[in-house]
A and B are shown apart, each in its own frame.
Chain A
């Protein structure tokens, strides 16, 4: 039996750059930063007082009563999924619910619900704790809500691999369709933990930028002045569909999901392998799985979070596994790091780069690190033909995921 082709027929997102895919992509190509000061009262005590917060609040999209029972990460997953579902035109397509699956994950989950309800427990006692607490904080909550929304009955999966979650959720969706378990998978990632505790935790690891006086310049992958990542929040969702299923219903196809590579470092709980060994294998596997010639993969949306070590290890890995020809983007320079949603949002950016023939800019790359030996579209977008492109995502725990997308 030949392996079925898998394509992308719908996109949805709500991000620090915009409330949907179109506005996010426009801002990205224009090189706008979504990072701003944290003006909340609790921020004053923190070493990090900047973040990339949502451009459009969920309350502008979902009604108040619905939001009462949704963690913020669930609400935005639902919003992105609604957009992707509508974009794919699947609502009245007669799709069999038993051929529809969901693969939507989060890096951290409903932490803000957990902490808010703990405050209530401490202040007012157990009877005041919301009965919605558990479904709001459980890590499968976003996937489950999306499954209810679209009526998915072929399985609802919630990947959790830290900052590789969104990409690995897409890889799982690819596997589900290839193995014949579903014809359509709603796949992506979500994250909403702009809250003092997660920020304090990341800051204690010295993983975050403290460039509080220049928020828009704080996320600067590959720049000599980089001093850590900037936390972002948002969700990205893709509709993955068996190619012949999409063709039969005359669906608009954005791109083909040509291949995926997943590896683990077995090295350190937070540090990437010191020679990028796991990343090299993930990229190599994704390329082999895709069957695409390396020379055709001319663009990479890199993981590049703006941390001193990780940024350069990825450059080395790309050199070894792909070559010296691709033009890179670090869109986190604009969106901040969406953790579990990063791989999904950046896959959307990779797909739109292929569609529009444009490499989005990497802003703030004013003084490139000497070890940056690959071409980057610094400051301004670059227009070029992109037959195929790669997206990397790596996560705490030693997760490495690479995805290859091509033109339809």
Chain B
């Protein structure tokens, strides 16, 4: 799966869970500061991403995933 494909997959999840427009989702964007994803919604995003990409994202990793790009890199490395 390419980085663009993972980003697109995350954009789908972000739209479903938090109402983020897919146009706003890019690797450099911060989940909390740029996309207004609060802590509870971030939990939903992580669980949905685990399911979608068939990976495990432990809770202690989540705090390191500040940007969409961080999440893409983590998923890319795991899958």
- Where the two chains meet, the residues of A that have a C-beta atom closer than 8 Å to any C-beta of B are 63-65, 68-69, 127-128, 130-132, 135
CA–CA, A127 and B47, complex, Å: 7
Given contacts A63-B19, A128-B47, A132-B44, 4 further A-B contacts (CB under 8 A): A131-B40, A131-B41, A131-B44, A132-B40
Q: Determine how close the nearest CB of chain B comes to the CB of A117; give it in whole angstroms.
A: 13
In the bound complex, what is the Cα–Cα distance between A128 and B46 (angstroms)? 11
The CA-CA distance from A66 to B40 in the complex, in Å, is 13
A142 CA to B31 CA, complexed, in Å: 28
Name A's interface SS: helix
Size class of the contact patch on chain B: under 10
Question: Would you call B19 and A64 a contact (CB within 8 A)?
Answer: yes
Decide if A68 touches B40 in the complex (CB within 8 Å): no
Contact A131 B19 (CB under 8 A): no
8 tightest CB-CB pairs across the interface, nearest first? A65-B19, A131-B43, A131-B40, A132-B40, A127-B47, A131-B44, A65-B18, A128-B47
* Chain B contacts with A in 8-40, Cβ cutoff 8 A: 17-19, 40
Of A63, A64, A130, A135, the contact of B44 (CB 8 Å cutoff)? A130
Number of cross-chain contacts by CB at 8 Å: 17
Q: How far is the CA of A65 from the CA of B44 in the complex (A)?
A: 12
B37 → A minimal CB distance (Å): 11
**9 A-B pairs (CB sep. < 8 Å):** A65-B17, A69-B40, A130-B44, A131-B41, A131-B43, A131-B44, A132-B40, A132-B44, A135-B40
Shortest beta-carbon distance from B29 to chain A in Å = 18
- Write out the residue numbers on chain A whose beta carbons fall within 8 Å of the beta carbon of B17: 65, 68
Contacts of A64 in B (CB 8 A): 19
CB contacts (< 8 Å) of B19 on chain A: these are 63-65
Shortest CB–CB separation between residue A12 and chain B, in angstroms?
A: 25
Tell me the minimal C-beta distance from B15 to chain A in angstroms: 9
CA distance A127 to B62 in the complex (A): 14
From A64, which residue of chain B is reached at the shortest CB distance?
B19
Chain B residues, CB < 8 A from A68: 17
Residues of A with C-beta under 8 A to B47: 127-128
Shortest CB distance A369–B (Å)? 52
Query: What distance in Å separates the Cβ of B12 from its nearest Cβ neighbour in chain A?
Result: 14
The distance in angstroms between the C-alpha atoms of A64 and B44, with both chains bound, is: 15
**Chain A min CB distance to B52 (Å):** 13
**In the assembled complex, how far is the CB of residue A73 from the closest CB belonging to chain B, in whole angstroms?**
19
C-alpha gap A65/B41 in the complex (Å): 10
Q: Which residues of A contact B40 (CB under 8 A)?
A: 69, 131-132, 135
* Chain A residues within an 8 Å CB radius of B43: 131
Bound state CA distance, A69 and B38, in angstroms?
12
When chains A and B are docked, how far (Å) is the Cα of A186 from the Cα of B64? 42
Name the residue on B nearest A132 (C-beta).
B40
**B51 closest partner in A (C-beta):** A128
The CA-CA distance from A357 to B43 in the complex, in Å, is 54
| Distance between Cα atoms of A65 and B17 in the complex (Å) | 7
CA distance A69 to B19 in the complex (A): 12
Whole-angstrom CA separation of A64 from B19 in the bound complex: 8
Q: Which residues of A contact B41 (CB under 8 A)?
A: 131
Chain A residue at smallest Cβ distance from B50: A127
Residue of A nearest to B42 (CB): A131
Q: How far is the CB of A125 from chain B (nearest CB, A)?
A: 11
Q: How far is the CA of A184 from the CA of B47 in the complex (A)?
A: 42
- Complex formed: what's the CA distance from A132 to B39 in Å? 10
- Min Cβ gap A62→B in Å is 12
Tell me how far the C-beta of B27 lies from the nearest C-beta in chain A, rounded to whole angstroms.
Answer: 23
Q: A272: shortest Cβ distance to chain B, in Å?
A: 42
How far apart are the CA atoms of A65 and B18 in the complex, in Å?
Answer: 6
Q: How far is the CB of B33 from chain A (nearest CB, A)?
A: 19
